[in-house]
Protein backbone atom coordinates (compact mmCIF):
# COMPACT_ATOMS: atom_id res chain seq x y z
CA UNK A 1 0.00 0.00 0.00
CA UNK A 2 1.64 3.22 -1.14
CA UNK A 3 0.63 6.68 -0.07
CA UNK A 4 1.15 9.41 -2.64
CA UNK A 5 2.58 12.65 -1.39
CA UNK A 6 1.08 15.81 -2.84
CA UNK A 7 3.10 17.19 -5.70
CA UNK A 8 3.32 20.95 -5.23
CA UNK A 9 4.74 21.41 -8.70
CA UNK A 10 1.41 20.37 -10.20
CA UNK A 11 -0.54 23.12 -8.43
CA UNK A 12 -2.28 25.55 -10.80
CA UNK A 13 -0.81 29.00 -11.19
CA UNK A 14 -2.61 31.68 -9.17
CA UNK A 15 -2.32 35.41 -9.81
CA UNK A 16 -3.52 38.29 -7.63
CA UNK A 17 -4.43 41.11 -9.99
CA UNK A 18 -5.92 44.53 -9.23
CA UNK A 19 -8.45 46.04 -11.63
CA UNK A 20 -9.70 49.62 -11.98
CA UNK A 21 -12.70 50.76 -13.98
CA UNK A 22 -11.86 52.71 -17.10
CA UNK A 23 -12.36 56.46 -16.58
CA UNK A 24 -13.57 56.19 -12.96
CA UNK A 25 -11.22 58.17 -10.67
CA UNK A 26 -13.20 57.28 -7.51
CA UNK A 27 -13.21 53.52 -7.96
CA UNK A 28 -10.98 51.62 -5.52
CA UNK A 29 -9.13 48.81 -7.28
CA UNK A 30 -10.73 45.40 -6.99
CA UNK A 31 -8.43 42.45 -6.31
CA UNK A 32 -9.25 39.32 -8.25
CA UNK A 33 -7.59 35.97 -7.73
CA UNK A 34 -7.08 34.33 -11.10
CA UNK A 35 -6.68 30.57 -10.88
CA UNK A 36 -5.24 29.03 -14.06
CA UNK A 37 -7.36 25.92 -13.58
CA UNK A 38 -10.63 27.87 -13.49
CA UNK A 39 -9.66 30.69 -15.86
CA UNK A 40 -8.00 28.98 -18.79
CA UNK A 41 -8.86 31.41 -21.63
CA UNK A 42 -8.81 35.17 -22.06
CA UNK A 43 -12.59 35.21 -22.69
CA UNK A 44 -13.16 33.50 -19.35
CA UNK A 45 -10.96 36.14 -17.72
CA UNK A 46 -13.06 38.92 -19.26
CA UNK A 47 -16.21 37.34 -17.78
CA UNK A 48 -14.57 37.08 -14.35
CA UNK A 49 -13.43 40.71 -14.46
CA UNK A 50 -16.92 41.85 -15.58
CA UNK A 51 -18.42 40.29 -12.47
CA UNK A 52 -15.58 41.40 -10.23
CA UNK A 53 -15.61 45.12 -11.03
CA UNK A 54 -19.40 45.29 -11.57
CA UNK A 55 -18.84 47.42 -14.63
CA UNK A 56 -21.54 50.08 -15.27
CA UNK A 57 -20.63 50.09 -18.97
CA UNK A 58 -21.64 46.45 -19.43
CA UNK A 59 -19.26 43.62 -20.21
CA UNK A 60 -15.51 44.07 -19.99
CA UNK A 61 -14.07 43.71 -23.49
CA UNK A 62 -10.59 45.20 -23.06
CA UNK A 63 -7.89 45.25 -20.40
CA UNK A 64 -5.22 47.96 -20.40
CA UNK A 65 -2.07 48.77 -18.46
CA UNK A 66 -2.81 51.77 -16.17
CA UNK A 67 0.07 54.06 -17.06
CA UNK A 68 0.71 53.65 -20.78
CA UNK A 69 -2.70 52.31 -21.77
CA UNK A 70 -1.32 49.34 -23.67
CA UNK A 71 -3.92 46.72 -24.44
CA UNK A 72 -3.45 43.30 -22.84
CA UNK A 73 -4.65 40.48 -25.07
CA UNK A 74 -3.55 37.25 -23.38
CA UNK A 75 -3.36 35.66 -19.95
CA UNK A 76 0.42 35.32 -20.26
CA UNK A 77 0.87 39.10 -20.28
CA UNK A 78 -0.83 39.54 -16.89
CA UNK A 79 1.54 39.69 -13.93
CA UNK A 80 0.60 38.83 -10.36
CA UNK A 81 0.41 41.84 -8.05
CA UNK A 82 0.10 44.33 -10.93
CA UNK A 83 -2.72 46.78 -11.66
CA UNK A 84 -4.81 46.90 -14.82
CA UNK A 85 -7.78 48.86 -16.18
CA UNK A 86 -10.99 47.10 -17.22
CA UNK A 87 -12.89 48.72 -20.10
CA UNK A 88 -15.79 47.98 -22.37
CA UNK A 89 -15.60 48.83 -26.06
CA UNK A 90 -14.45 52.38 -25.33
CA UNK A 91 -10.83 53.46 -25.60
CA UNK A 92 -8.50 53.78 -22.63
CA UNK A 93 -9.09 56.89 -20.51
CA UNK A 94 -6.05 58.00 -18.53
CA UNK A 95 -6.63 59.11 -14.94
CA UNK A 96 -4.02 61.00 -12.97
Q: Please check whether residue 50 lies inside any domain of the structure.
A: yes
Q: 16: domain CATH number? A: 3.10.20.230
Q: How many residues does the chain have?
A: 96
pLDDT, one tens digit per residue, over 68-84 is: 899 999 998 999 999 99
Is residue 63 pLDDT above 70, yes or no?
yes
The tally of domains found in the chain comes to: 1
Higher-confidence residue of 57 and 61: namely 61
- Residue 52: give the domain boundaries: 12-87
CA 63, distance to chain mean position in Å, is 8
Is residue 4 pLDDT above 80, yes or no?
no
The reported pLDDT for the residue numbered 9 is: 62
CB 92 within 8 A of CB 24: no
Residue 41: CB partners within 8 Å, gap ≥ 6?
75
pLDDT, one tens digit per residue, over 14-47 is: 899 999 999 888 999 999 999 888 888 999 999 9
Q: Please check whether residue 92 lies inside any domain of the structure.
A: no
Q: Please check whether residue 76 lies inside any domain of the structure.
A: yes
The reported pLDDT for the residue numbered 38 is: 87
The reported pLDDT for the residue numbered 56 is: 82
The reported pLDDT for the residue numbered 62 is: 95
Q: Please check whether residue 94 lies inside any domain of the structure.
A: no
Amino acid sequence: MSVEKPNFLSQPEVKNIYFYRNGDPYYEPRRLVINAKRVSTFDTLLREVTGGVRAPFGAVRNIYTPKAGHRVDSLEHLRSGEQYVAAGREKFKKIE
